[in-house]
């Protein structure tokens, strides 16, 4: 989806519909997966515990797409 938008520019709304639909379907699959939710929750709670103990924020990870 990102690649399509970068290549298309302002016409992305019209030309990237298929990619947008595929992206939404993928995300909905992850959001509705209970094990993925629990994994994210555990990671968040661990980071929150570390921050409360040290007062130092952890740097955010950058997502690198598998293009």
* Blockwise average pLDDT, block size 10, the chain, 67 residues: 90 92 92 91 93 81 59
pLDDT of residue 12: 87
CA atoms within 13 A on the CB side of 7: 7
Q: What is the CA radius of gyration of the chain?
A: 17
Reading phi first (left if > 0) and then psi (alpha if -120 to 50, else beta), residue 9 is in left
**Is 0.85 topped by the overall pTM?**
no
């Amino acid at each position: 989806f990102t690649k399509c938008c970068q290549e298309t520019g302002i016409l992305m709304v019209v030309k990237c519909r298929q990619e947008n639909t595929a992206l939404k379907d993928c995300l909905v699959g992850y959001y509705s997966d209970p094990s993925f939710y629990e994994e994210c929750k555990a990671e968040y709670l661990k980071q929150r515990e570390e921050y409360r103990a040290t007062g130092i924020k952890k740097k955010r990870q950058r997502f690198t797409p598998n293009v």
